[in-house]
Structure 1
Amino acid sequence: MPKTITQNLPSYLDSENPGPWAIFLEQVDRVAPYLGDLGKWLDTLKHPERSLIVDVPVRLDDGSIAHFEGYRVQHSLNRGPGKGGVRYHQDVTLSEVMALSAWMSVKTAVVGLPFGGAKGGIRVDPRKYSAGEVERITRRYTNEISSIIGVNKDIPGPDVNTNAQTMAWMMDTYSMHAGTTQPGIVTGKPIPLGGSLGRVEATGRGVFIVGVAAAKDAGINLTGARVSIQGFGNVGGTAARLFSEVGAKIVAVQDHTGTIADPNGLDVEALLTHVKQTGGVGGAANTTAIAADEFWAIETDILIPAALEGQITKHNADTVQARIIVEGANGPTTPEADDIMTAKGIVIVPDVLANAGGVTVSYFEWVQNSSSFYWTVEEINERLEKIMLDAYHALTATAAEHEVSLRTAAFITACTRILETRELRGLYP
């Protein structure tokens, strides 16, 4: 099935915009020389185990019927149940969801979680619909994918334009079908429904943890260090707050509403309040607006792309003036851009490690739901920090051993773990 889908998507053949799935395939091919005998299983990673496309018909508030296209892709279930978020965005494509599910396989393997990779999405701009309409879209989508998800099969979570309320609707819908409350069917739920403390800020906190470690290795003093952030939602906003708390200056921020900068450092708390009130950074008081393409050229110590994939390409990579890039978003850098910036000496902490804080605390939530025993936020953050730092130091050691980038080291580690499991399990029948 994936082969047929690939052949039907011309974006895969577009050298200027190959599509997220093609980017993932290139990343996998780059680690083939490091896999040894496991290389015979490499094509396993190039074929998602299951790709589901569903129609999501919904009655709108005006009585009309609208149809939305939804996806759920399970890339690899060799190491455990699938894990991955659900995003609502008008530009969601199957290529994107396939790639995101594959990066989840890599991500969970990098940090050693007993999960495989999955991802979901609906092609919809939720800002154009009422809360009731979004709820009905969510419930119908959950119903359509219910045959392939489950507490021990595939556990959705929040992603772009979805949140704890979305997960509550998904959990309730699935539970109604099951005839019993199933809190473990999703993660990122509200706390009263079995959500985990620390989950909302987990991805941004993970970005901060590995960013601090990378800065230390690079000899960067965080007091007065310059940080630029693209995307100012849960991930970018949390990272900004944590970096500012240790003395770093947030000198530039970009999101879908605008790009602002201040070489002396933006007022993070005021900016977070502005974003909460208006939905974006554009028009924030006491800030200077700059052109969107100028964002990448700002001289900074740490750059955090925390928006969508494909933001740093061969067309703007050479303008990037950062010492370290910590990828808060999934797939923000194309392979060509990766090569350009690596040649310039920029250290890139890849997404499959940098933003793994979210799935790590989602794992904690799933474990707590299974045992009906819940941890304190201090326990959550302590366990998160240990897992993130252990993974970071393991990747830096692998990178040094093979003289490769951290991204290649991450894929060596993850692909080895996934394919070892595949070989041990064998093929059935």
Structure 2
Amino acid sequence: MIDRFNIAADILKLDESIRQRLQRPEKQIVVNFSIVLDNGKEQNFEGYRIIHNTALGPSKGGIRYDTAVNLEEVKALAAWMTWKSAVTGIPFGGAKGGIICDPSTHSKRELEKITRAYTKSLSDIFGPQKDVPAPDMGTGPDEMGWLMDEFSQLHGRIVHGVVTGKHLHAGGSLGRVEATGKGVSIITLLALEKLKLRPAGSTVAVQGFGNVGIHSALFLYEKGLKVLAVSDVSEALYNPDGINIPELILYYNLNNKSIKGYPNSVTIKHEELLLLEVDVLIPAAKEDVITRQNAHEVKAKIIVEGANGPVSSDADAILEANNVLVIPDILANAGGVTVSYFEWLQNTLVEKWGVNQVNRQLENILEKSFETVFRTVKKYNVSPRIASYILALQKVAETQSVKEVALTAENYKQN
């Protein structure tokens, strides 16, 4: 991320002090807390909350539960949230949080205790106008509901807007579960249109069959694209005639959330999926799957980044030289934070939107963002990735500068 940040900052000729401000988080909070496990023993946990930037509004970002959670990872993910919100024009800053734990080894009662203890430790950080968490790896609507309830108890009133990704009955939004995948599919269709390719009959490969991959594949299948390949951690599947995605989803749900053994396809190597001759490749699994080692072998016309950071910076120039259109993560997978904003807005306004309204608003925001990015591509003669960073940095830097001038003036008056 830093390499791309620096290229955009150089183009904008950002002042060094502003550049450093935007690279560093505003706050880094490390918390330690203990809970009593079901067996009566006490266990200590370490958690983090990084507030990267609040120039555009309250900070926004998920909380992950994983044994690999670390401070540097959380800092990077918080910055990603800042740029995603800025590119889409959402009035949020960026944040991220995490707890070092393996949720699969804890009972539901223990996970509730962990969530409530973490919330209590950060009760002065969270708030609808301050910092708004959301689900991430290892967390979901249950954890968000516990967080909201604990925060509400601490503040003596129900505060629905302190967190997003909640169950519908607790103030969640329709369309939130599928939002990131829906956003990826919207961006994919816009990218196809940019290259004058018709959706019907266009081919796609999807790496990753979690929430993002499933919904991306399903929405694109419904739009007439032929999904030639999908993969999860267990297996990579290929069918030259196209995979029936609704059928595969049914199989996945009945097969312990795994595509392994799905009959109407052949098995290929995971790395082969990335190099298939398709119109669209959607890496929706993990970071750095396309690097300088394999970028020259990529045959897709378009890469739409469903995951964060699936293309390493050392692959950018290779893909660009080979005329591969890469739609970057901070635009491609921003559907999740966009519908999180809708949930927060509904909570704030005490409203309830129908799913059609949510989807219309999502399409509207992403289409406008896509158009703005490509106007910036033309203006600066850069890739869509660098154009996205230029837009985000410019917006945050200008707002940051105005706020700092106002703060300086206020301090001067007081003195």
Structure 2 length as normaliser, TM-score?
0.94
Query: Which residue does 1:258 correspond to in 2?
Result: 235
Cα contact 2:178–2:211 (8 A) shared by 1 = yes
Q: Please, which of 197, 205, 211 is the counterpart of residue 234 of structure 1?
A: 211
Query: What aligned pairs does 1:206-285 form with structure 2 within 5 A after superposition?
Result: 206-277=183-254, 278-285=256-263
Greater CA drift, 375-384 or 331-340: 331-340
Cα contact 1:86–1:160 (8 A) shared by 2 = yes
Look up the equivalent residue of 1:419 and give its one-letter code.
A
Q: CA RMSD in A?
A: 1.6
Q: Please, which of 322, 334, 344 is the counterpart of residue 322 of structure 2?
A: 344
Q: Tell me how far 1:44 sits from its aligned partner.
A: 1.1
The separation in 2 between residues aligned to 1:235 and 1:119, in whole angstroms, is 19
Structure 2 unaligned segments of length 5 or more: list them.
Answer: none
Greater CA drift, 215-224 or 104-113: 215-224
The separation in 1 between residues aligned to 2:38 and 2:278, in whole angstroms, is 47
The separation in 1 between residues aligned to 2:237 and 2:34, in whole angstroms, is 40
Query: Which residue does 2:355 correspond to in 1?
Result: 377
Query: Which residue does 2:126 correspond to in 1?
Result: 149
Greater CA drift, 284-293 or 186-195: 284-293
Q: Tell me how far 1:165 sits from its aligned partner.
A: 1.7
Q: Please, which of 76, 79, 88 is the counterpart of residue 53 of structure 2?
A: 76
Cα contact 1:349–1:407 (8 A) shared by 2 = yes
The separation in 2 between residues aligned to 1:365 and 1:217, in whole angstroms, is 31
Structure 1 length as normaliser, TM-score?
0.91
The one-character-per-residue Cα deviations of 1:299-318 (angstroms, maximum 9, x if unpaired) are 21111111222332223322
Cα contact 2:45–2:100 (8 A) shared by 1 = yes
Structure 1 unaligned segments of length 5 or more: list them.
Answer: 1-23
Cα contact 2:9–2:393 (8 A) shared by 1 = no
Secondary structure in structure 1 of the residue aligned to 2:279: strand
The 4+ residue runs of structure 1 with deviation greater than 6 A are none
Q: Tell me how far 1:151 sits from its aligned partner.
A: 1.0
Do residues 291 (structure 1) and 287 (structure 2) align? no
Cα contact 2:207–2:274 (8 A) shared by 1 = no
The separation in 2 between residues aligned to 1:233 and 1:115, in whole angstroms, is 26
The separation in 1 between residues aligned to 2:377 and 2:211, in whole angstroms, is 30
Query: Structure 1 vs Structure 2: percent identity of aligned residues?
Result: 43
Look up the equivalent residue of 2:150 and give its one-letter code.
T
Residues 214, 39 of structure 1: alpha-carbon distance in 2 compared, 3 angstrom cutoff: farther
Look up the equivalent residue of 2:25 and give its one-letter code.
P
The one-character-per-residue Cα deviations of 1:269-299 (angstroms, maximum 9, x if unpaired) are 1221233231222222323222222221222
The one-character-per-residue Cα deviations of 1:110-154 (angstroms, maximum 9, x if unpaired) are 011111000111222322332222222222222222221111100
Look up the equivalent residue of 1:223 and give its one-letter code.
A
Cα contact 1:38–1:420 (8 A) shared by 2 = no
The one-character-per-residue Cα deviations of 1:337-394 (angstroms, maximum 9, x if unpaired) are 2222122111111111111111111111111101111111111111110100000001
Residues 365, 292 of structure 1: alpha-carbon distance in 2 compared, 3 angstrom cutoff: same
Residues 325, 48 of structure 1: alpha-carbon distance in 2 compared, 3 angstrom cutoff: same
Q: Please, which of 311, 324, 335 is the counterpart of residue 333 of structure 1?
A: 311
Greater CA drift, 182-191 or 28-37: 28-37
Greater CA drift, 401-410 or 63-72: 63-72
Look up the equivalent residue of 1:293 and give its one-letter code.
E
Look up the equivalent residue of 2:322 and give its one-letter code.
K
Cα contact 1:38–1:419 (8 A) shared by 2 = no
The separation in 2 between residues aligned to 1:209 and 1:84, in whole angstroms, is 22
Q: Please, which of 128, 145, 166 is the counterpart of residue 105 of structure 2?
A: 128
Q: Tell me how far 1:199 sits from its aligned partner.
A: 1.0
Look up the equivalent residue of 2:35 and give its one-letter code.
V
